[in-house]
Structure 1
Amino acid sequence: MSSIEACKFYLSRKDLANGAHVGLASSDRTVALVRRWQQTSESLRAARAETLTCFVVSPAKSGKFELSLVDEDRFNTLQESIEAHNEELERLEKAVRDLDAIDAPMFLEINDQVGIHGRSEHVERQQIANMTSAYLQRRANTGKTPDEILAADPEFQRLKGLCEKRIEQSKSKLAELKPKRDQMKAILESVGC
């Protein structure tokens, strides 16, 4: 993955955060992933540059120069560090690609949406119960059964229908969001974010 791809991914996370809560972007797991990618890239670059300090340039025959290894232990340690950084970078890049492939939003955003839609049914059912109670109290002295009172009131039926429609919409949205959130969570946890 190029730094341009990572920057685009990071900027898209920043843009999403600016639309809502800028402070949340700093704690979002997808932004943490990109920051970790940037830090690993910088550490890799620094380790590669530091390997040059293990060599000395000396003149060779015929006016050329050659590099001589001066500190082999340090050089080997740096090579191990470079390999570890490369492996980490590959894992992080794969996670970014996987998140991009599923068109993942910020983790906090999708997690909040799952929470909102998950609580929606309870809230709507409570609203229906409150409406039912209020309608029955207002028409208690009509001599009709509760079912007859509610069935005869078109306003109650309309409001109840709206609540049930919102419940169904929330359930379908939740069925769409939960697998995506779980997939994002698995990808982010696979790289420790």
Structure 2
Amino acid sequence: MQVYYQNLMGCLIKSGRSLIKSALALTFIIISLLSSQVSASEDPFDEKLVLRRQTLVVRDIEKSLALYRDAIGMEVIYDQVIKRPLSGSDREQVLRLIFLKASNQYTGVLGLVDYEYGYPDHPAHTKPIRHEGFTPGNSILVFNSNELSESWPLIEKSPGVKIITKPKLTTYPGYGGEGIIRVMVSKFYDPDGFLVEMNQLLDPLEPQ
């Protein structure tokens, strides 16, 4: 009888080990599948239509970097000085093109371009800055951040930034008209007069 129980316990232990190995293998397969789906969804070539980037033509690219990179917290993923022959002129055009990402390197990318980089006295750099507000013909860059309280003091100190509204609570109707969405909303002009909102969501976009 003792031998019988010993054999039974041995079989149960082996079965338990097999179940654990199977469960671990299944977990690994699920994680791999989910990872591949996430990677694929981030690849713009797998999407029918992607809003890839908005590029801002700027007067002083260093001022723009002080805002978008240093204060808002975007990451530079491309930075090149490009030289080209300038049509109708005996000089070459020198431009600097920068791409910055938020959380994704394929979508929601912000471009900065100075078409007369290295020529600070060029008329393009002295063109008057227009602060026209929320009127037709003007676009708005909208950022969502979970660190608005940390980034806002840096935004206020960025050179050339003009504050419209400090962060304040604003509510919007929920998607499908269900409930409300609370957002801390701030508004300002960047150094070139582009409108920017730096916001923080306080409620999920979809009803829970």
Which TM class, normalised by the smaller chain length?
Answer: under 0.3
Q: Which has more strand, going by share of residues? A: 2
Structure with more contact order per residue of length (Cα contacts < 8 Å, sep ≥ 6) = 1
The TM-score with structure 2 as length reference comes to 0.24
